Copies of this chain bind each other. A is one copy, B any other.
Amino acid sequence: MKKTLKIGIVGLGRIGQIHLSNITTRIKNAEVVAAADISENLLDFARRHGVENVSTNPESVLTNPEVDAVIICTPTPSHVPYTILAAQHGKHIFCEKPLDLNIEQILAAKEAVELANVQLMLGFNRRFDANFLKVKEMVHGGLVGDPHILKITSRDPNPPQIEYVKSSGGLFMDMAIHDFDMARYVMNSEVVEVYAKGKVLVDARIGDEGDIDTAITTLTFANGAIGVIDNSRKAVYGYDQRIEVFGSGGMTQTKNNTPDTHEYYNEKGGHLSLPLNFFLERYAESYVNEINVFVASVLSGEKVPVSAHDGLMATAIAIAAKQSCQEEKPIRVEEILNALMA
């Protein structure tokens, strides 16, 4: 086993910068040896973090013989081709979610990775957050008994730009996909059926693009449990991220994280801090933790904990949710998988 994993990063946007900065400062046994972005400006960011080998050509990083593993942070349409290229060059791969909006593409990436015998880990970072980890441990450890009801509340502080909405794949594929992954993860059971009710209540322009901004999605799990996710694109009080699992043995839930724990009381009432503002702040530690796990898994040869299969299933649930919402009836996930893999 090598002692230090040499990493190449492609895509130095918001999330690429976070990974680069984290690896430089907080990740054990890893260093960034190459980075690529189409923007020269962003390459400066890499240079300032001590990466000498920078390029505007992502392929040069993905095929660089010095590189052991790549982190793919480019826009979604390039995820699969870059994954395949990297796999063909024997690199282990950490790829931001979603792997693709299209199940055939996901399967193509999965096949390439298996063929090349490299690891592919997807960036479902919330799995590595202390709150969700605790709930998952309690559920898997039997503290809630047989799980009966899962509740996830997941609300953004503000909708994305309309331009982004157009190419995002929609609320289920872009936003709720994290919640679908969390549902499978924490319940330790596959989602077999989805019913989604969606609405345009936040911004009519989102509806003009054929998307929704508010949704309640009912999930049925293979183990018999049921669950519900409520999503909104705009919570004026900030980023609302809560989970609850109820079962035969008890119930566990998490509250939002806040910048401090103060309470203030005056003649008008009691006052509390708002939740941490948005995902970069709220999930900052999870981005460190997920790369630490990726690096440790690759170095030790152990299986990474978030696979292409996980990406496949989350995507299938998102497709089912979108179809349920449009057709106004529950959809079985198996149908989606069968239809798309036919």
Contacts and interface: CB of A to CB of B under 8 A. Distances in A.
Interface string A249-275: 111111111011111111101111110
A148 interface: yes
A316 B138 CA distance: 39
A251 B251 CA distance: 23
A310 interface: no
Contact of A216 (B24, B135, B226, B240): B226
B234 A248 contact: yes
A184 interface: no
A259 B130 contact: yes
Nearest to A274: B269
A265 B274 contact: yes
A251 B226 contact: no
A280 to B, nearest CB: 16
A166 interface: no
Contacts of A195: 195, 197, 218, 330
Nearest to A253: B263
A19 to B, nearest CB: 15
Nearest to A242: B261
Contacts of A220: 197
A291 B248 CA distance: 36
A110 interface: no
A131 B262 contact: yes
Contacts of A253: 262-263
B214 A138 contact: no
A260 B258 CA distance: 11
Contact of A218 (B218, B248, B252, B270): B218
A329 interface: yes
Contacts of A255: 261, 263
A234 to B, nearest CB: 7
Contacts of A254: 260-263
Contacts of A238: 265
A148 to B, nearest CB: 5
A155 interface: yes
A109 interface: no
Contacts of A145: 236
5 contacts: A135-B262, A138-B262, A195-B330, A253-B262, A270-B273
Interface of A: 24-26, 130-131, 133-135, 138, 143, 145-146, 148-149, 151, 153, 155, 195, 197, 199, 201-202, 214-216, 218, 220, 224-228, 230, 232, 234-238, 240, 246, 248-257, 259-267, 269-274, 328-330
Given A270-B271, A329-B329, 11 more contacts: A133-B260, A148-B202, A237-B251, A237-B266, A250-B267, A251-B266, A252-B263, A256-B261, A257-B261, A271-B272, A329-B330
